[in-house]
Every structure is written in structure tokens, then in C-alpha cells.
Amino acid sequence: MELNALLTALQTHLPEILRWSGAIAKRLRHFNIAVENKTSGSALTDALTLADLTLQELIVAALRDRDPIFLQCRIEAEEKTGDLDRFSEDAPYVLSIDPIDGTKQYRDKTADGYCVMIHLRDSETVHYSLVYIPETGEQGTWVEAVHQRVVCGPDDFSRPAREVLDAMPAIDPETRPDSSQIYLIGFQDEDTSNAQLVTEAGLKGVPPEEMPGSIYDHLATGAFGGSLIHTPNVYDFPVSLHIARILGGDAVWVHNGEPVNFHEHWLDERADMLRLPGITACSANPNTLKILCDLAKDWSPIRYKD
């Protein structure tokens, strides 16, 4: 499979698919759609709605039908819905879907920063990322990363989604602000206390309950400087890695400072999702990465204490 052909197909078809998915998410949010399923003990992780299941069904079906090149990829999806068996089981490239990132705030209607997202990666890095945030801005907000180019900006329903993205200027790492705000998640009942340690180290730690929405548009624009995540899942975290790498930074394991790759993952049976091992720091600023690694290098890499 030729990577550029795959990237062209993704750029061509995915924007309208995610725009449709976002419209469905907005509509379903008006109803009681909570579903009980996951039992990790974390309210953020365990939140699940019929919207997650419905949007994944739509996205998987669209990938199946729009271009046969997509069927040559492996597929990893946070939920179980969709015609997943039609996709390759051993391809070098994987399409990874998070139908709703920020499900708890979506379900509870506590904020509007939830998003629909998909990315393409291989075992070393991420090659394409697309995020649609349906209720940020008047008509939603986009983040796209591909070919060393990151864009972020408002949608415009009067034009095709691809046309909107193509008209956005690339974010310039030289002029992008460098915020000290760092998003922390995955530390179970220590998210808030660890955020305070980040603040004491000279940055500003932000625990999940204080996060204004998903990290991706905030990271792209520089409103946030990065993240510190315990055993991140493979459906959403790689998009942050992709944005940071394009903008001159990286995502690294805090215990050794080495760049994150995707050679190894583990199944979190409590949350029913695939995760990377250890604690990762992600930022477009190498100095921020060093501060986070120095702080967290000796923290426990074990997610669950019991």
C-alpha cells in the first residue's frame, strides 16, 4: 500500500464523514442516551453513550464503502460497533477511531468541547489526524494534521468540508503561543494532586475537571502547552503526538525521555480499550518535555493499584 495514495483518500473522504458524524452527535445529545458498560472505576473512562456506538457505526461503514484502499488498513476503534471484520488484520497502517472524545462532558452536558476523531499511524508515528469539534464555534471547529502541516479553525457549512480545510492557513511554530498549561489525565484519584506538582515545577497543571474541552485544538493553537498522561489509549492520544511532532516537539516516555512509538500496547480489560505502557509527556516545546520528564520519571507506571 502506498502511503501518499492512502493520505489522499483520507483527505478526500474523511472531512465530510466527520462533519456528518458531528451533526448526529449534536442531535443525539438532546436525548437520554447513557449506556452502562465499562467498569474501570474512572468516570471519565467509563462514560458511554448511544452516540459513541452510532457514530462509530457510521464512520466504519463510510470507510468500508468510500474507497477500497481503507480496507487494506487495520482498524482500531474504541467501541465494538461497525463492520470491523472487513478490514485487514495485519497491514502496516492502522486507522484508529474515537467516535466521541470527551464522552462524560458530552453525556452530562457540562461542556461543549467533545469531538469526533480519526488518525492513521504505523508502528513508529502518526501520518494523518482529523478532529471535528461540533459545538466549538458557531458551526464547529476543525483540526487537521498531515504532511508537516497543522491547521485549526472554524467550519463553514456553506462550503464543502474539504474546501474549508484547504483554505485554512497552516499554524506557524515560530508565531504560535507557548502556554504553560499542561493537561493531566489517567492518574486515577491523583490527577489533581499531580497537576499541583506540575504547577510547582514551574508550569500550570490542569486536571480533567478543569479542562475546557478536548486537548487537540488547544494544543494546536498554543492555548495549552502539552499533556502528561498515564497509560494513554491508542484512539485519541496519538493525535496529540502528531500535532506536537509537526510543531517541533514530541511525545516521550517520562522514564527515559525516548520518543513514543506503537510497537507495544496492552489491553485494559477494565476499560475495554488498548493502551500504551507507562507515562507519556507531550509538548511542542522540548524544554517543557524536559520539565515533565524530570518531574514524573519516578512515578509509578502501573495504572491500577488494586
Backbone φ/ψ region at 272: left (φ over 0), alpha (ψ -120 to 50), beta: left
DSSP assignment of 17-61, as one string? HHHHHHHHHHHHTTS--B-----SS-HHHH--BHHHHHHHHHHHH
Distance between CA atoms of residues 63 and 87, nearest Å: 9
Judge whether 172 is annotated as a binding position.
no
Alpha helices in 67-190 (DSSP H): 103-108, 161-167
Judge whether 124 is annotated as a binding position.
no
Contacts of 84 (CB under 8 A, 6+ apart): 60, 75, 77
Distance between CA atoms of residues 252 and 111, nearest Å: 29
Judge whether 178 is annotated as a binding position.
no
Judge whether 78 is annotated as a binding position.
yes
Show the CA angle centred on residue 204, arms to residues 201 and 210, nearest 5°. Answer: 140
**Annotated binding-site residue numbers:** 78, 98, 100-101
Binding residues for Mg(2+): 78, 98, 100-101
